[in-house]
Amino acid sequence: DLLVYYQTIAPEASAYGLCRVVAPSEFKPECKIKNSDRLNVKNQYICRFLNRFGDGTRQLCAIRAHLATHGIVTRSPIISGLEVNLPKMFRIVQNYGGFNEVTRRKKWTSVAENMNVKLINPETKLDRIYLKYMLPYDILNNVYDCEEYSQCKNELIFGVCSVCLKNV
């Protein structure tokens, strides 16, 4: 037993200040892993580590790059202390038929619910945010064909997008 051994040599070892206990060569500790325990092994491919940016990150980078070309260089808007998820807002508005349909049918409350934003009057705040940040981006014909999206997509594959770093 290690503790009993240490207590027997403690008076002699305390004179030197330090004590190093080395187990004898015939000492074999028992294994605590039972045969019923299973370890889940997962392959981690090094070549896939850099491809961790999803569509939301790429789209946010493209939105920021597009805003930078129009001279709007700010951080993402904040509502109730939380940053507004602009790609999610864009997707939800597009699912409802676009900005004109959401405004005409007064669906901003539904947009706020889908974004999990708790606001008393979401129409005015979300409408202003969409007009300032998303409408220039929304005017593009096809999001995935725009130059900013492809530039950000290529830069994100190799690391961090330089356009997004400038706008943060």
pLDDT at position 149 is 59
Residue percentage of the chain with pLDDT more than 90: 17
Q: Is 83 helix (H, G, I), strand (E, B) or coil?
A: strand
pLDDT at position 74 is 67
**Which band of pLDDT confidence, cut at 50, 70 and 90, is reported for residue 104?**
very high
Q: How far is CA 43 from CA 40, 49, 51, in A?
A: 10, 12, 16
Residues across the chain: 168
Which domains can be identified in the chain, with CATH numbers? Answer: 55-167 (1.10.150.60)
> Which contiguous run of DSSP H or E holds residue 78?
strand 78-79
pLDDT 10s digits, 105-117: 999 999 999 988 8
Q: How far apart are CA 87 and CA 61, in angstroms?
A: 10
Radius of gyration of the CA atoms of the chain, in A: 29
* Number of Cβ within a 10 Å radius of residue 77: 17
Alpha helices in the chain (DSSP H): 2-13, 55-69, 86-95, 99-105, 108-114, 122-129, 135-138, 147-157, 162-167
Q: How far apart are CA 164 and CA 168, in angstroms?
A: 6
For the cut 50, the answer to whether the pLDDT of residue 159 exceeds it is: no
Q: How far apart are CA 117 and CA 138, in angstroms?
A: 21
DSSP state of 116: T
Q: How far is CA 17 from CA 13, 23, 56, 72, 136, in A?
A: 7, 20, 59, 66, 72
